[in-house]
């Protein structure tokens, strides 16, 4: 009688608002999407870990002493999660794990966090352990810090874990409050791939984290969450612009909660437009491709707002639109962008989906 495989699934996420606010102890608004990562596998009798990916190949390592891989770096997400779960006192032996899914990597939809979360749930289930969901998110975040080199906040992991169909996820990164927020039925999300891949570990993301921390220190506040717009003129120009983005994003998230509750899609879309302009001018984490996609989307009837989504520096954009026109808008956006960029983008109407399982 064959041993049944253990499997786990985690969705990607779209960042609605709250760009780079998570590691500044701010507030964020995201949503799980209907694309994700599935992992499956089983225990091994020996003390080895075998990691296979449909897209990236296969790597096998000793399970005893885990450290970041210099080759096959894509496997560091699994290796890092394994190490962090062990650090919590969870005994994990050898195992095989197969990675598959329909979530494109490098597009700002958090394929990394989806892989981390799916791997953590797989390992916990495989070894009959449980952890509170927020502790799982934090363990996966530490894995990304220690094994991948990206000093990410918790937005991606929390959204992937706590997502609910037709609901946004609000997360207060200081109080750790998670709130599920109904999303208006007459609104839809269109996600468009810019054609410029992201590589956050290359340094730009970590540099923004250092810059915002420097701004907080200069203002003598614990984090930029505590800064007011009036204080920002005390800062030199670069740090003032970085801090203005974070302060403005926090305000936009709080405003968005009221607008979503009122079903005000026009007002919510205007916040997305403001967010992208701030990313472009203040945080400088947009690109020419992302700016072109946003500008193109805003010209199409039925579009209420558009912005980059995720860390920036490439990746994808999010377009908010009237639900009844979503498919037509997706087709038109792809066609118009291809005409000016010479690149046929992947554009999809994304449903807001349930979280990891």
Give the residue numbers marked as catalytic: 156
Residue 310 φ/ψ, nearest 5 degrees: 90, -160
SS3 107: coil
Backbone angles phi and psi of 130, in degrees to 5? -130, 155
Q: Are 141 and 84 in contact (CB under 8 A)?
A: no
> Do residues 138 and 85 lie in contact, with contact meaning Cβ atoms separated by under 8 Å?
no
- Write out the H or E segment, with its range, that includes residue 86: helix 76-87
Q: Are strands 303-309 and 316-322 parallel, antiparallel or unpaired?
A: antiparallel
What token pair was written down for 256? 């968005």
CA 27 to CA 171: how far, in whole Å?
6
Parallel, antiparallel, or unpaired for β 95-101 and 48-53? parallel
């Amino acid at each position: 009688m064959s041993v049944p495989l253990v499997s786990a699934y985690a969705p990607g996420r779209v960042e609605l608002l709250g760009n780079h606010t998570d590691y500044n102890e701010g507030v964020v608004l995201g949503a799980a999407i209907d694309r994700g990562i599935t992992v499956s596998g089983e225990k091994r009798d020996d003390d080895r870990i075998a990691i296979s990916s449909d897209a990236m190949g296969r790597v096998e390592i000793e399970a005893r002493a885990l450290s970041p891989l210099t080759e096959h770096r894509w496997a560091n997400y699994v290796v890092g999660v394994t190490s962090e779960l062990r650090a919590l006192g969870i005994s994990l032996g050898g195992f095989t794990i197969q990675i598959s899914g329909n979530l494109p990597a490098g597009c700002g939809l958090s394929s990394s966090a989806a892989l981390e979360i799916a791997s953590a749930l797989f390992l916990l289930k495989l070894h009959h352990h449980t952890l509170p969901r927020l502790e799982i998110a934090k363990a996966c975040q530490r894995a990304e810090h220690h094994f991948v080199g990206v000093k990410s906040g918790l937005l991606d992991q929390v959204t992937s874990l706590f997502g609910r169909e037709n609901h946004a996820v609000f997360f207060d990164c200081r109080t750790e409050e998670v709130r599920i927020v109904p999303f208006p039925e007459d609104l839809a999300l269109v996600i468009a791939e810019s054609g410029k891949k992201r590589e956050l570990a290359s340094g730009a993301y970590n540099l923004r984290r250092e810059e915002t921390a420097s701004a907080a220190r200069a203002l003598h506040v614990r984090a930029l969450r505590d800064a007011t717009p009036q204080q920002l003129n005390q800062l030199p120009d670069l740090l003032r612009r970085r801090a203005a983005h974070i302060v403005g994003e926090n305000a936009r998230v709080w405003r968005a909660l009221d607008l979503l509750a009122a079903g005000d899609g026009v007002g919510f879309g205007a916040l997305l437009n403001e967010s992208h302009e701030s990313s472009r001018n203040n945080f400088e984490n947009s690109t020419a491709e992302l700016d072109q996609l946003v500008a193109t989307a805003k010209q199409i009837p039925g579009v209420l707002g558009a912005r980059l989504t995720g860390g920036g520096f490439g990746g994808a954009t999010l377009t908010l639109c009237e639900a009844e026109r979503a498919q037509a808008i997706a087709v038109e956006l792809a066609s118009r962008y291809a005409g000016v960029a010479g690149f046929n983008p992947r554009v999809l109407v994304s449903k807001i989906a349930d979280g990891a399982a």
